[in-house]
Structure 1
Amino acid sequence: MFRDTLLSLLGRLTTALGGVALVVTLIDILYGVVTRYLVGQAPIWSDELARYCLIASTLLIAGSVWVRGEHMRVALLERHLGNTARRLLLGYQWLLTLALAVALTWWSWHYALSVGYFTSQGLGISRTIPMLVMPLGFGLLALQVLLYGPRALPQPGSDESTDSAATPPEARP
């Protein structure tokens, strides 16, 4: 119960932060387009800010998308295996995802710190600042994967009670 509440809270928080980064991207791109047509050129920092915000929105929301089962994956094997084999497959998938997320958190942390001497071309800030979103995003993914545990991920769109259009007429009550 506590685990599900924490996962839900983390999901809402990361989705909100990812949404803010996406809105900043949209405003920045619109600003760049308007200045390009009115002034003749967009600010040099505009493209760089949009790139960093897109990366941030993707990485911040990755854990929430994984927990909801909305990422791209093929779950054909999960549906057709027996209980024991299915549990083994789910455990393997969970462990692999957790190991990759932890490894990428560690590697991206060291990478972000290693580029601290360089400044970004457009924004003129240390490259460490925007790069820190990588270990943050992968760390949040690792935390959400760890909290979720080795259980089956939801199958979006497979709930027949909400998707009666996919049910053949002869099978409906």
Structure 2
Amino acid sequence: MTAFPLRRLARGVETLSAVVASSLLLINVGDVLFAVVLRYLFGSSVAWTEEVARYSLIWLVMAGAAGAQSRGDHMVLDLLGPRLPRRARRTVRGLVLAVQVTVLILLVVLGAKNVAGTWTMKTMALGIPKAVVLSALPVGMALLLVQLLLGRVTEDGR
């Protein structure tokens, strides 16, 4: 497969990540403002606003991780790498990729196992299955894994 369709796919994942994260940010800000207005102007509160704020923030972070990956916005400690010879740098880069892929696969698998046992549990205020909230981890890490691999393939295919 040529690099062009993979670049388009990577851009698509990045766009999906950005749209979902932006939408969740709007929901989060709107929810918090609604709760503040209710509390300080009308002296009352609604229990579900706290859950919406928390759950939208969780999903926002997990959805936004793939977009940050594609832009290179994740934190990197690059003290040793640039000082290494080219071959050693490639080897270290390959080891780092292997560790990243392994950790992300573990997070997806273990997160999915955690989600599987929580479909019957409900959240306190909203009454939605806890699995909906907990799905943020395996879904977000799967998107991050896809974006990481697509970025590496399109980088190497230049």
Confirm or deny a common fold (TM above 0.5): yes
2:93 matched residue in structure 1:
90
2:76 matched residue in structure 1:
73
Comparing both chains, which one has the higher relative contact order based on Cα–Cα distances under 8 Å and sequence gaps of 6 or more?
2
SS in 2 for 1:76: coil
Question: Residues 99 and 151 from structure 1, CA distance in 2 versus in 1: closer, same or farther, beyond 3 angstroms?
Answer: farther
1:50 matched residue in structure 2:
53
SS in 2 for 1:149: helix
Quote the offset at 1:150 in angstroms: 7.1
SS in 1 for 2:22: helix
Percent of paired sites with the same residue: 27
Quote the offset at 1:132 in angstroms: 1.5
Counterparts of 1:18 and 1:107 in 2: how far apart (Å)?
A: 23
Q: How many pairs does the alignment contain?
A: 152
Give structure 2 stretches of 5+ with no counterpart. none
Are 1:128 and 2:131 matched, yes or no?
yes
Give structure 1 stretches of 5+ with no counterpart. 153-173
Max radius of gyration: which structure?
A: 1
- Which whole-Å deviations, capped at 9, do the CAs of 1:72-131 have from their partners, x for residues lacking one? 121122221111011011111111111111110111111112122211011111111222
Are 1:37 and 2:40 matched, yes or no?
yes
Quote the offset at 1:28 in angstroms: 0.3
Correspondence list, 1:1-173, <5 A: 1-149=4-152
Q: Which moved more, 1:76-85 or 1:44-53?
A: 76-85
Quote the offset at 1:147 in angstroms: 1.6
Quote the offset at 1:144 in angstroms: 1.1
Question: Residues 26 and 18 from structure 1, CA distance in 2 versus in 1: closer, same or farther, beyond 3 angstroms?
Answer: same
TM-score normalized by the length of structure 1? 0.82
More helix by share: 2
2:21–2:60 contact (8 Å) kept in structure 1? yes
Q: Which moved more, 1:128-137 or 1:19-28?
A: 128-137
1:7–1:148 contact (8 Å) kept in structure 2? yes
RMSD: 1.6
